[in-house]
Structure 1
Amino acid sequence: MCGRFTLNQSATALAEVFHLQQVVDLEAQYNIAPTQMVVTVVHNPESDKRELWQLRWGLIPSWAKEAGIGNKLINARGETVAEKPAFRSAFKRRRCLVVADGFYEWQKQPEQKARQPFYFQLQDGQPFGFAGLWEKWRSPTDDEITSCTIITTQANELLQPIHDRMPVILAPQDYDLWLNPQEQNPQVLQNLLSPYPASAMIAHPVSTIVNSPKHNSPECIIPIKQ
């Protein structure tokens, strides 16, 4: 799964990686948690351009009776995303990139109750896009929430000792295809939902302060000795 991630990048870096025309500097985030607002790249059908949108993390299907269902839908399994009622409509037409530069996973420790958090990022430290889906939901009182989920897949060799799942990190050359709402072939899209190459990633253990979303500082990603 993917339950926490980071984004600490300049507007220039985001504009270059995601081919955006205008990006404002964003506040550094070292411990992004579910239900918080996250930065995404969306192909806006009205402007026909890539845009940065801030969406609530935890997808609320359009047919949901209440917003709370989104708390359980922070991730979508890549193997079944095309069939699940909560995700299949968005998978066809409303795909996005959830912008990050690292993420956390927790490893069970033998004979210990506490799990050890690890921080994962790309070798070059560049920002990247998780494969995501977005949806608009309107409440009975006519409030509108635009939300998103992150798609997961089987863990690569780097993550396997830590966790059996990982978020789908898309290669930059696949961004156009993923964001194209005209592409609706499930097989073509699911071919993109594979584990990112372990050789292109690095990881290190970090402090358990990241366990609480109240902590949002550079200390969250500093390596520790085991």
Structure 2
Amino acid sequence: MCYDLSFSASIASVFDYLPDLKDMGQLDLHFEPTYHKVAQAYPKWPVVVQEQGEFKLKRFEWGVIPHYMKTPEEVKKGRKWMVNARAEKVLDTKAYWNRIRKNRCLVPATGFFEHRDIPGWKNKVPYYIHVKDREIFFIAGLYAWSHLPDPETGEIPGTFTLITRDANDIMSRIHNGGDNAGRMPLILPRELEKEWLRPDLSDEGIKSILAYSIPSEELAYWTVNSVRKAKPDDESVIAETQWADLPVL
């Protein structure tokens, strides 16, 4: 799955990549560039949605809170499973994600992290992955407005999930262990970004976009130090680190 995300660019870069947002001006979203956030901390993140025919930049919490979670205790227990949505479940009428499939969003990122299992090694090896020749890229997502108000502000927060799909060749070799091995975020090419936000996109159109897989050769990747240990939120997080005796991919 995808639990570790990076957005080290400025908010202005989102406007540069999606000129349709220009008319809104560069909103003060109080979002500082970050080299690493983990999903289960439920960070607030910039997302792009389309409302009433306009592209809008919002700041939503990572991790959908579905309506069947009625109490804070239920949210605390179950929300950790709602930070990613499997592409195969979006059109499954028995799945929760099917109910919010019309609430589609774009999640900007500069990179993400996955971990590789090495036989005989105690610790997994973390990799930083990003799209070549792009300062930022967009991951397909779904969003929902929480039915539980923020206990401090009383506001109804917007929440989102990242869509994941079967990994391409290189990602299947990097993300090769654990219960969710062989998954990767659904990274969209430029020509599908606005298409994903079309309010009249049919289920067939959704199915077609969910089937897209970014080619391995369009991704750059390297090993880094552990991203699960506390460290300064700076470039050192994504700095290439050599691991002794690491087998080739």
> What whole-Å deviation, never above 9, does each CA across 1:94-133 have from its counterpart, x for those lacking one?
1000110100000012212211100000111421110000
Which residue matches 1:85? Answer: 95
Q: Which of 127, 135, 141 pairs up with 1:126?
A: 135
Give the letter for the 1:85 counterpart: A
* 2:35 is the alignment partner of 1:27: no
Which residue matches 1:44? Answer: 51
Say if 1:200 and 1:6 are closer, same or farther in 2 by CA, change over 3 A. same
CA contact (8 A) 1:133 1:148 kept: yes
Instruction: Report the secondary structure of 2:88's partner residue.
Output: coil
* 2:121 is the alignment partner of 1:136: no
For structure 1, the 5+ residue unaligned runs are: none
Q: Please state which structure has a larger fraction of its residues in strand.
A: 1
Aligned-pair CA distance for 1:174: 1.0
Give the 5 Å matches for 1:110-121: 110-121=119-130
Which residue matches 1:196? Answer: 214
Give the 5 Å matches for 1:2-17: 2-17=2-17
Report the TM-score when normalising by structure 2. Answer: 0.82
Q: Please state which structure has a larger fraction of its residues in helix.
A: 2
Give the letter for the 1:180 counterpart: R
* 2:173 is the alignment partner of 1:161: yes
Aligned-pair CA distance for 1:221: 0.2
Instruction: Report the secondary structure of 2:3's partner residue.
Output: coil
Aligned-pair CA distance for 1:137: 1.8
What number of residue pairs does the alignment pair up?
Answer: 221
CA contact (8 A) 2:64 2:146 kept: no
Instruction: Report the secondary structure of 1:148's partner residue.
Output: strand
Aligned-pair CA distance for 1:28: 1.3
Which residue matches 2:157? Answer: 145
Distance of 1:12 and 1:30 partners within structure 2: 17
CA contact (8 A) 1:14 1:23 kept: no
Aligned-pair CA distance for 1:186: 2.0
Give the letter for the 1:7 counterpart: F
Give the letter for the 1:218 counterpart: E
* 2:233 is the alignment partner of 1:216: yes
CA contact (8 A) 1:38 1:55 kept: yes
Which residue matches 2:64? Answer: 59
Distance of 1:114 and 1:145 partners within structure 2: 36
**What root-mean-square deviation, in Å, do the aligned CA atoms of Structure 1 and Structure 2 show?**
2.0
Aligned-pair CA distance for 1:146: 1.4
Aligned-pair CA distance for 1:165: 0.7
Say if 1:212 and 1:195 are closer, same or farther in 2 by CA, change over 3 A. farther
